[in-house]
């Protein structure tokens, strides 16, 4: 099976995912909406929210053929299956899917990573970003977010993930 991206109406990712799960057997077609766990501040209160990693897109692992292509196109709120160079559908390259699959857990959620910043260098102590430090482009300490650049269908997508910034602990005996 291979991965494909479905372009759909933003905000309907979960509904389309449920539709696919209902009408297709999981062994034939496995839909995934990767979501990032983030903290947002609204009216002075902090809330934990889940936001789609790629709003308006759903990833599906299937053996794409004419039957699946036309069945998926009939789903409400689906615009098209992403393609390149005039084809009807294009498989997502394994090099592009590997980091995404490494980030998500079994529930397709990207949890917080614990990050330490020392001498302007970023170290990921734990979490899904461990080993993916090279994808981090920017850190927002105030919001607790990391901006990543991921290759997706031949383009670079900027995504935000929730992080916990750790403060370095120094040996207090050596402090002057």
Q: What is the reported pLDDT for 86?
A: 67
> What's the mean per-residue pLDDT of the chain?
84
- Name the CATH superfamily, with its identifier, for domain 2-174: NusG, N-terminal domain (3.30.70.940)
Q: Name the pLDDT band for 176 (thresholds 50, 70, 90).
A: very low
Helix %, strand %, coil % for the chain, to 5?
20, 45, 35
First to last CA, the chain: 61
Per-residue pLDDT of 7-66, as tens digits, reads: 999 999 999 999 999 888 878 889 999 999 988 888 888 888 899 988 999 999 988 888
Q: Where are the alpha helices (DSSP H) in the chain?
A: 13-23, 66-73, 94-103
Residue of 27, 32, 33, 34 whose CA lies nearest to 1: 27
């Amino acid at each position: 099976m291979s991965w494909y991206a479905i372009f759909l109406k933003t905000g309907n990712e979960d509904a389309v995912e449920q539709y696919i799960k209902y009408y297709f057997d999981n062994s034939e077609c496995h839909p995934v909406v990767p979501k990032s766990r983030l903290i947002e501040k609204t009216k002075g209160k902090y809330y934990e929210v889940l936001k789609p990693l790629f709003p308006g897109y759903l990833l599906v692992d299937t053996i794409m053929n004419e039957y699946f292509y036309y069945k998926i196109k009939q789903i409400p709120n689906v615009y098209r299956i992403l393609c390149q160079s005039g084809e009807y559908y294009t498989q997502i390259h394994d090099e592009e899917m590997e980091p995404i699959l490494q980030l998500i857990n079994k529930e397709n959620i990207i949890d917080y990573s614990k990050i330490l910043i020392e001498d302007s260098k970023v170290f990921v102590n734990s979490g899904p970003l461990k080993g993916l430090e090279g994808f981090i482009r920017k850190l927002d300490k105030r919001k607790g977010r990391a901006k990543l650049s991921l290759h997706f269908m031949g383009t670079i997508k900027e995504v935000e993930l929730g992080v916990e910034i750790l403060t370095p602990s120094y040996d207090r005996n050596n402090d002057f």
